[in-house]
């Protein structure tokens, strides 16, 4: 699929590394079907999948071309496009995402996700880690969208990549999948 990506699009990845598999395991709620993705970010400049510029939380929040990181032959990438946003909403989301560039990753938030998993997904420990200075991938996406008054069916601080995926996939009136999960070609 050669669909160009647009600012505000949400990209998801499914990696093969141990940490990717652990994230998928620990973001799955009891009784929920298997988690499909372990990472999420926002497209901030449009273009082909190779050339589109994205913002994502890695060791630090980075802005770079999607293809630079994910054309590795192993990581699967999918993209959902919001269909219920005005141009101003998209500008707000992109600006919010870019405002986090350079910040260090919120490893404590990952620990909080794990502790909440033990509590069957209760939003307890994640609520206690409300520090905007150290984002994780899903936190960054959920908070950027919250700046435009949008959510993914959960509090922004409670969102996981799986929550964002499930919401986008279940709401075709709000999101359309423009790139199915697969290797960048």
For residue 43, what are the domain limits?
A: 10-183
Rounded to whole angstroms, how far apart are CA atoms 127 and 92? 24
Structural domains in the chain (count)? 1
Mean pLDDT confidence for 118-147: 77
- The answer to the question of residue 127 being in a domain is yes
pLDDT of residue 132: 67
- The answer to the question of residue 158 being in a domain is yes
Rounded to whole angstroms, how far apart are CA atoms 149 and 93? 10
- The answer to the question of residue 3 being in a domain is no
Rounded to whole angstroms, how far apart are CA atoms 3 and 155? 31
- Report pTM: 0.84
- The answer to the question of residue 114 being in a domain is yes
Q: Is the pLDDT of residue 53 over 80?
A: yes
- The answer to the question of residue 1 being in a domain is no
pLDDT digits (tens, 9 = 90+) for 62-91: 999 999 999 988 999 999 999 999 999 999
CATH number at residue 146: 3.90.1720
Contact (CB, 8 A) for 112 and 125: yes
- The answer to the question of residue 5 being in a domain is no
- The answer to the question of residue 2 being in a domain is no
Q: What are the tokens at 152?
A: 């993914």
- Decide which of 113 and 139 is more confident: 139
The whole-chain average pLDDT of the chain stands at: 85
């Amino acid at each position: 699929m050669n669909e160009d990506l647009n600012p505000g699009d949400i990209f998801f990845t499914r990696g093969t590394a141990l940490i990717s598999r652990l994230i998928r395991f620990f973001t799955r709620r009891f009784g929920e079907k298997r988690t499909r993705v372990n990472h999420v970010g926002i497209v901030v400049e449009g273009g082909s999948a190779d050339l589109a510029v994205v913002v994502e939380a890695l060791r630090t929040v980075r802005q770079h071309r999607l293809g630079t990181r994910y054309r590795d032959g192993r990581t699967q990438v999918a993209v959902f496009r919001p269909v219920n946003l005005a141009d101003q909403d998209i500008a707000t989301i992109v600006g919010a995402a870019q405002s986090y560039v350079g910040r260090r990753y919120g490893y404590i938030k990952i620990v909080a996700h794990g502790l909440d998993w033990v509590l069957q997904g209760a939003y307890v420990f994640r609520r206690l880690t409300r520090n905007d200075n150290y984002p994780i991938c899903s936190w960054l996406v959920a908070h950027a969208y919250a700046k435009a008054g949008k959510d993914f069916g959960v509090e922004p601080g409670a969102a996981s990549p799986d929550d964002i995926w499930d919401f986008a996939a279940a709401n075709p009136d709000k999101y359309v999948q423009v790139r199915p999960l697969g290797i960048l070609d």
